[in-house]
Amino acid sequence: MTDEQFLFPAGFLWGVAGAAHQIEGGNSNSDCWLLEHIPGAPFAEPSGDACDHYHRYPDDIALISSLGFNTYRFSIEWARIEPEEGEFSHAALEHYRRMLITCHEHNLTPIVTYHHFTSPRWFAAKGGWEISANAEYFARYCERATAALGDLIGAGCTLNEPNVGLLIQEGGHMPSDDEIVKAPFRVAAAKAVGSDTFSAFPACCRHRDARDTFLKAHRLAFDVIKAGPGDFPVGMTLAMADRQALPGSEDVRDRARHEIDDVFLDVARDDDYIGVQTYTRSRYGAEGPLPPEEGVERTQMGYEFWPEALEATIRYAADYTGLPVIVTENGIGTQDDMRRIEYVRRALQGVQRCLSDGIAVRGYCYWSVFDNFEWGFGYRPQFGLIAVDRITQTRTLKPSAEWLGRVARTNTL
Ligand code: BGC
């Protein structure tokens, strides 16, 4: 059988992914919005209107479906659903119910992420994820959201990439835990919310402390979501890299992997699936992580063009946990849409090899549906299958959207 004829399993989830803060626009009650407006905080520009998906979701969802996809992964926004501690917004929940109904009307399985980095300001003012007891707030929010939405959810992700801060810190692209406590923008943010602390994930967070809270929050959330209406698989998603060691440096690599991935994978073992998200590889030498080699192709994010990371991380996560895998994110920030197609083609060839070896890969969600707010980088990186005019909000399909839509429709590569 040639690669061109490879048929993916019946019912394979073919999706696109997005996250509330990055596409909805006007998420002004969130910790991230506040930080975006604090001088010195690490944001190239504020998120502003983003893709105005909060208002344009009916057309956007119809467009996703018309391309050939059968799945849409999006996040619901805690800062909208619980704008003040213990105060839940029925209007916000109704909004997300309408979004879910719209997905079903267009034959899209909705994968709902309960937390994709952003939290309400009040939560950040209580120390956010750095404080173990705060896990209970997250569980209460998940319980309320599931009570309102659970009957319509196709699959649930509690937390998006709770390990991403550790991953970025490892590469030296984020202040250390010690530095962050003293960062002037953190002090200013705390002042702005009338607190003596402010912890916002991932840009302004002590990640070692947050890790324990996340692990606890995930288990609490998993239980309340499973106890609510609906009967759908629940898991978490992790930021994974294809971790490669130079000969003799395997123990350096394994130690890093233990701290950043395995402690989460251990806790995920009791879930229904594991969400794999990957973009590149990390190489390790005797001293630790190494930068990409001279001359290798890099994406707009600065890291190496390495689509083979997907096969490696699926194999690792499946082998470690014994769980089915959903690729909840994979993609590339590039101006050159032909490189995007090449990246995804090679990544999907890796998925094929995993499937051929009997690994239970249930679906693939491309990140991202739109060119969107790429956190600290602002709107410069172009991850989208669909371009968005920043003023008119006009959506323009890229060739990759049609290409991946055809792969999805025909279930073949
Ligand atoms: C995150 C997304 C982000 C993407 C591309 C993932 O770490 O879940 O929010 O936009 O990678 O960098």
pLDDT, tens only, 10-26:
999 999 999 999 999 99
* pTM, rounded to two decimals: 0.98
329 lines ligand 1 (CB under 6 A): yes
Tell me how far apart the alpha carbons of residues 75 and 395 are, in angstroms, rounded to a whole number: 20
> Known catalytic residue: 161?
yes
Task: Tokens for 138, please give them.
Answer: 């997250």
Sequence-distant (6+) residues with CB within 8 A of 347 are: 307, 308, 309, 310, 311, 330
371 lines ligand 1 (CB under 6 A): no
Distance from residue 356's CA to the centre of ligand 1 (Å): 28
β-bridge mates for residue 30, sequence order = 120
- The answer to whether 277 touches 236, Cβ cutoff 8 Å, is no
For residue 353, the domain's CATH number is 3.20.20.80
31 lines ligand 1 (CB under 6 A): no
Residue 393 region, left (φ>0) first, then alpha (ψ -120 to 50), else beta? left
Q: Where are the beta strands (DSSP E) in 103-211?
A: 109-115, 155-160
Pairing of strands 386-388, 395-397: antiparallel
Q: Where are the beta strands (DSSP E) in 28-121?
A: 71-75, 109-115
Phi, psi dihedral angles at 166 (to 5 degrees): -65, -40
Nearest to 116 by CA among 368, 316, 364, 334: 368
- Output the pLDDT for position 4: 55
- Ligand 1 atom with the shortest distance to the CA of 239: 7
Distance from residue 175's CA to the centre of ligand 1 (Å): 18
- Ligand 1 atom with the shortest distance to the CA of 377: 12
Distance from residue 411's CA to the centre of ligand 1 (Å): 25
164 lines ligand 1 (CB under 6 A): yes
Distance from residue 400's CA to the centre of ligand 1 (Å): 19
- The answer to whether 367 touches 343, Cβ cutoff 8 Å, is no
pLDDT, tens only, 30-61:
999 999 999 999 999 999 999 999 999 999 99
- Please report how the helices 53-67 and 90-105 are oriented relative to each other, as an axis angle in degrees rounded to 10: 20
Task: Tokens for 391, please give them.
Answer: 């003023």
Distance from residue 166's CA to the centre of ligand 1 (Å): 14
Tell me how far apart the alpha carbons of residues 355 and 404 are, in angstroms, rounded to a whole number: 19
- Output the pLDDT for position 331: 98
Mean pLDDT of 75-91: 99
Mean pLDDT of 382-410: 98
Helix or strand (DSSP H, E) at 95: helix 90-105
CA 91 to chain centre: 25
- Ligand 1 atom with the shortest distance to the CA of 161: 8
161 lines ligand 1 (CB under 6 A): yes
Domains of the chain: total:
1
pLDDT, tens only, 198-253:
999 999 999 999 999 999 999 999 999 999 999 999 999 999 999 999 999 999 99
Probe ligand 1: pick from 32, 301, 334, 367, max atoms within 8 Å of CB? Answer: 367
CA atoms within 13 A on the CB side of 304: 19
Phi, psi dihedral angles at 65 (to 5 degrees): -65, -40
Phi, psi dihedral angles at 281 (to 5 degrees): -115, 160
Active-site pick, 36, 77, 82, 161: 161
Distance from residue 369's CA to the centre of ligand 1 (Å): 12
pLDDT(335) > 60: yes
Give the structural domain span for 226. Answer: 3-410
Tell me how far apart the alpha carbons of residues 159 and 403 are, in angstroms, rounded to a whole number: 30
CA atoms within 13 A on the CB side of 80: 21
Residues 154, 141, 118: CA angle, nearest 5 degrees:
85
240 lines ligand 1 (CB under 6 A): no
Distance from residue 194's CA to the centre of ligand 1 (Å): 30
- The answer to whether 124 touches 34, Cβ cutoff 8 Å, is yes
Between 354 and 170, name the one with better pLDDT.
Answer: 354
Mean pLDDT of the chain: 97
Show the 3-state SS of 265-323. HHHHCCCCEEEEEEEEEEEEECCEEECCCCCCCECCCCCECCCCHHHHHHHHHHHHHCC
- Output the pLDDT for position 1: 43
- The answer to whether 83 touches 29, Cβ cutoff 8 Å, is yes
Probe ligand 1: pick from 329, 366, 371, 380, max atoms within 8 Å of CB? Answer: 329
142 lines ligand 1 (CB under 6 A): no
Probe ligand 1: pick from 207, 370, 374, 379, max atoms within 8 Å of CB? Answer: 374
